[in-house]
Structure 1
Amino acid sequence: MVTPAAHREAAAYLQTTYEMSQRRACRVIDTDRTSVRYQATRPDDGALRERLKALAQERRRFGYRRLHVLLKREGQIVNKKRIQRIYREERLTVRRRGGRKRAIGTRRPLELPLAPNQRWSLDFVSDQMTDGRRFRILTVIDNCTRECLALVADTSLSGGRVARELDAIIAQRGRPDTIVSDNGTEYTSNAILGWADDTGVGWHYIAPGKPQQNGYNESFNGRLRDELLNETLFRSLPHARAVLENWRRDYNEQRPHSKLGWMTPRDYARALSGESGDRAAQPGGSARTPLATHHHQGSNQPRTLVMAG
């Protein structure tokens, strides 16, 4: 017996079965009478419990930490441990879908981008509609702010289509320094090679069979599949595009990101731009020491495929 609840239960058993006094029962089990007489004064959490269950039903793949951030946004100042207790009592724990292999040994960490548009990453995700037709989704991520810049869904996405989508993003956001991708045929096509030469954007290809070198996009794809694709039945391609765009806006503007101090990607991007403006407005001011030095890698494929780690 190591918990106060177990001590109280044992003392009650001795008092009932052997007609002992409380003092003698506590002496027998070697515990303090104050802990046995203690009555819990836990406040009523009915309203909080119902709101937590509603949020967990709405955000089915969110854990208690992210749900705690959403409750704080609503003005409910609650201890995180209390949220964790209710979360477990209501059996809201998110079940992991399968397992994954873990890399053994040391790996070279990714260099941290220090400002928006220093590095974007691209990748493809596949899914299917209710009638069995398959479609692909092009995901474009800013590695610094973690913003999802585009979710392009279609039954076929060629290199030329990827270049046009990148042009549309650049027209709104500006040109990136570097783009990271795998060695898929869409990214190694003549259309992309010509686009990279014309725009001056450095294109970095990860080593074959090393998706961890594009870890920012791989992590995002996991969240996309877990929170949306595995939870939604797509009736048609227009329906998929509308749902993906709504989720993208929610991801950028509402969903708290654990790696950004539970800020949303949009708020984090605004905070970065505000810090940059403050440093520029202060004459002689010193910039904050970066966590990592950014090296512009440039294009590792001018016209010939060169696999780079």
Structure 2
Amino acid sequence: MAATAPGQLWSWDVTELKGPARQRYKLYLVIDVFSRYPVGWRIEHREDTAMAVDMFAIAFTRYGAPQVLHADNGAIMRSRDLLDALQAAQIEASFSRPRVSDDNPFSESLFKTIKYDLACPDRFDDIDHARAWTTAFLAGYAGEHRHSGLGWHTPASVFDGTAAHQRQHRQTLLNRQYLAHPQRFRRPPRAPEIPAIVGINHRRTTQPLSQTG
């Protein structure tokens, strides 16, 4: 499946964060695949279907419902209550193929980015510490992180559509530089493109998600 605009395809997963001693916290995280923008998250002591349903209800109210929600095959992802909530919102549920470990790459990539960040504690002092740190990290990731897969734009600017104007501004500056100093360039410079289609196994998909509906 593939998206050609924000809001069409979301991906989500749950990962574990270490607390003191043997305590473990669960980070639920939902992202818009086209922009990599985090549209919903929460940290709790356990995986719980009701908490996941509540997280999505808040995200749908704030951003609107996507056409497709992708996840792996965990029990909470396939829970009846969550699937009923998706059906009520007219969202198609998509799941990773059995025994394929890399079918949810966007969520896994962001989890890796979080855990490998140099400022990420090896262990959090308590759940409030984990929530506060993650709040700050995701705000910076969304609004400040220049993503290589987004033409060096931020997830927030791709999600809200301002990246297209930013790219045009970059191109205008490059055009001026080229006209002023053509000898410095082997060819006219081009600002990196924002990908037109982004998806999960989209090369196996015959049609991208519709931009309407």
What TM-score results when the alignment is normalised by the length of structure 2? 0.74
Q: Provide the residue aligned with 1:187 in structure 2.
A: 77
Q: Percent identity?
A: 21
Q: Deviations over 1:52-100 (max 9, x none)?
A: xxxxxxxxxxxxxxxxxxxxxxxxxxxxxxxxxxxxxxxxxxxxxxxxx
Task: State the aligned residue count.
Answer: 173
Tell me by how many angstroms 1:126 deviates: 0.5
Contact 2:26-2:44 at 8 Å conserved across structures: yes
Q: Provide the residue aligned with 2:208 in structure 1.
A: 294
Contact 2:29-2:42 at 8 Å conserved across structures: yes
Q: Provide the residue aligned with 1:203 in structure 2.
A: 93
Distance 2:74 2:118 in 1: 24
CA 1:262/1:161 → structure 2, altered by over 3 Å: closer, same or farther?
same
Distance 1:236 1:261 in 2: 37
Q: Provide the residue aligned with 1:129 in structure 2.
A: 19
Distance 1:240 1:143 in 2: 24
More helix by share: 1
Contact 1:206-1:214 at 8 Å conserved across structures: yes
Distance 1:291 1:266 in 2: 17
Q: Tell me whether 1:244 sits opposite 2:134 in the alignment.
A: yes
Q: Deviations over 1:134-191 (max 9, x none)?
A: 1111111100011112331111121121111000011111111100001111011111
Tell me by how many angstroms 1:230 deviates: 5.1
Distance 1:219 1:227 in 2: 12
Contact 2:6-2:159 at 8 Å conserved across structures: yes
Structure 2: gaps (5+ residues):
166-195, 199-206
Contact 1:131-1:235 at 8 Å conserved across structures: no
Q: Provide the residue aligned with 2:112 in structure 1.
A: 222
Structure 1: gaps (5+ residues):
1-110, 276-289, 297-309
Tell me by how many angstroms 1:229 deviates: 7.8
Q: Deviations over 1:33-63 (max 9, x none)?
A: xxxxxxxxxxxxxxxxxxxxxxxxxxxxxxx
Contact 2:8-2:209 at 8 Å conserved across structures: no
More strand by share: 2
Larger Cα-atom Rg? 1
Distance 1:154 1:172 in 2: 21
Contact 1:116-1:142 at 8 Å conserved across structures: yes
Q: Provide the residue aligned with 2:53 in structure 1.
A: 163
What TM-score results when the alignment is normalised by the length of structure 1? 0.52
Q: Provide the residue aligned with 1:76 in structure 2.
A: none
Secondary structure of 1:208 counterpart: coil
Q: Deviations over 1:90-135 (max 9, x none)?
A: xxxxxxxxxxxxxxxxxxxxx4311111000011111211232111
Q: Tell me whether 1:117 sits opposite 2:7 in the alignment.
A: yes
Contact 1:115-1:272 at 8 Å conserved across structures: no
Distance 1:187 1:229 in 2: 30
The 5-angstrom pairing of residues 76-115 of structure 1 reads 111-115=1-5
Q: What amino acid does structure 2 have at the position aligned with 1:225?
A: K
Distance 1:139 1:148 in 2: 7
Q: What amino acid does structure 1 have at the position aligned with 2:63?
A: R
